[in-house]
């Protein structure tokens, strides 16, 4: 998933902020708990107000992720 996500980040980084959470990082425990973060990979797409628009558990295709990113930009 790393090459897919990094590729999308390179394409959309001027329009969408990408944040990476490590399951073992205690510094982000509150954020992970608030999102319902369970295991890696676990993806969350938030709108400009920080509301979760969509989430994915496990692997997801590049096309599906990109379609979701484009939907929040419209």
Q: pLDDT tens-digit profile of 26-67?
A: 999 999 999 999 888 999 999 989 899 999 999 999 999 999
What is the per-residue pLDDT for 59?
94
| pLDDT above 90 for 74 | no
How far from the centroid of its chain's Cα atoms is residue 34's Cα?
14
Let me know: does 55 contact 44? Beta carbons within 8 Å: yes
The pTM for the full model equals 0.86
| pLDDT above 90 for 4 | yes
Element (H, E) at 45: strand 42-46
What is the per-residue pLDDT for 38?
84
- The second-level CATH assignment, the architecture, of 2-73 is 3-Layer(aba) Sandwich (3.40)
């Amino acid at each position: 998933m790393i090459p897919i996500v990094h590729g999308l980040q390179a394409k959309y980084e001027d329009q969408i902020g990408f944040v990476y959470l490590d399951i073992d990082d205690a510094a982000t425990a509150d954020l992970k708990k608030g999102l319902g973060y369970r295991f890696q990979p676990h993806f969350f797409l938030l709108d400009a107000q920080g509301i979760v628009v969509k989430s994915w558990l496990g692997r997801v295709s590049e096309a599906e992720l990109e379609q979701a990113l484009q939907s929040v930009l419209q």
